[in-house]
């Protein structure tokens, strides 16, 4: 939902008249930066730590994005959201792979990408529906609540499952 509606959100709710496309350039700088920042933890197989850092940063970044409607906060959140996505997505992919035997790793990768595509599709549909009923702020708040719930569920269920069942470091 983030990337699909961000330009409309920037114009309608932040009040930007130009430059909403810059969000994507700054977001990509955040993604690239995250690779440098998380590399040591990823190599040390501290995937749960990487995910928790990414989720915490994502929650804070979405808070800034949603509730501080200035050009600076819009672009600052682009960078920090890029960093958070760059932490979370590769770490989850590594977890999928580390839970699979060697002959199941292709299936693990495929399952990861199908899950991601499904989540993106549902997010776009649900976000558009919620925005149509209310506004984009409400849609993004719903997304933030889902990130929080997902983080709690991962902390309570997923992280322990991974630690107990991982097959490789």
64: domain CATH number? 1.20.1250
For residue 146, give its domain range: 2-165
Helix (H, G, I), strand (E, B) or coil at 133: helix
Residue 44 to residue 76: CA distance in whole angstroms: 29
Single pTM value for the model: 0.93
Q: Spell out the per-residue pLDDT of the chain, length 169, in tens.
A: 888 999 999 999 999 998 888 999 999 999 999 989 998 888 888 999 999 999 999 999 999 999 999 999 999 999 999 999 999 999 999 999 999 999 999 999 999 999 999 999 999 999 999 999 999 999 999 999 999 999 999 999 999 999 999 987 6
Residue 42 in contact with residue 93, Cβ under 8 Å? no
Q: How many domains does the chain have?
A: 1
């Amino acid at each position: 939902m983030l990337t699909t509606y961000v330009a409309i959100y920037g114009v309608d709710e932040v009040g930007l008249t130009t430059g909403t496309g810059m969000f994507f350039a700054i977001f990509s700088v955040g993604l690239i930066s995250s690779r440098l920042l998380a590399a040591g933890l990823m190599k040390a197989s501290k995937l749960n730590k990487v995910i928790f850092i990414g989720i915490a940063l994502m929650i804070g970044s979405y808070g800034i994005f949603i509730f501080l409607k200035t050009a600076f906060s819009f672009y600052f959140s682009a960078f920090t959201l890029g960093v958070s996505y760059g932490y979370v997505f590769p770490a989850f992919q590594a977890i999928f792979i580390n839970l699979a035997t060697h002959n199941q790793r292709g299936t693990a990768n495929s399952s990861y990408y199908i899950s991601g595509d499904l989540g993106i599709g549902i997010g776009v549909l649900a976000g558009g529906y919620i925005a149509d009923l209310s506004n984009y702020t409400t849609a993004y708040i719903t997304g933030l609540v889902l990130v929080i719930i997902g983080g709690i569920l991962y902390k309570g269920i997923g992280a322990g499952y991974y630690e107990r069942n991982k097959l490789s470091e």
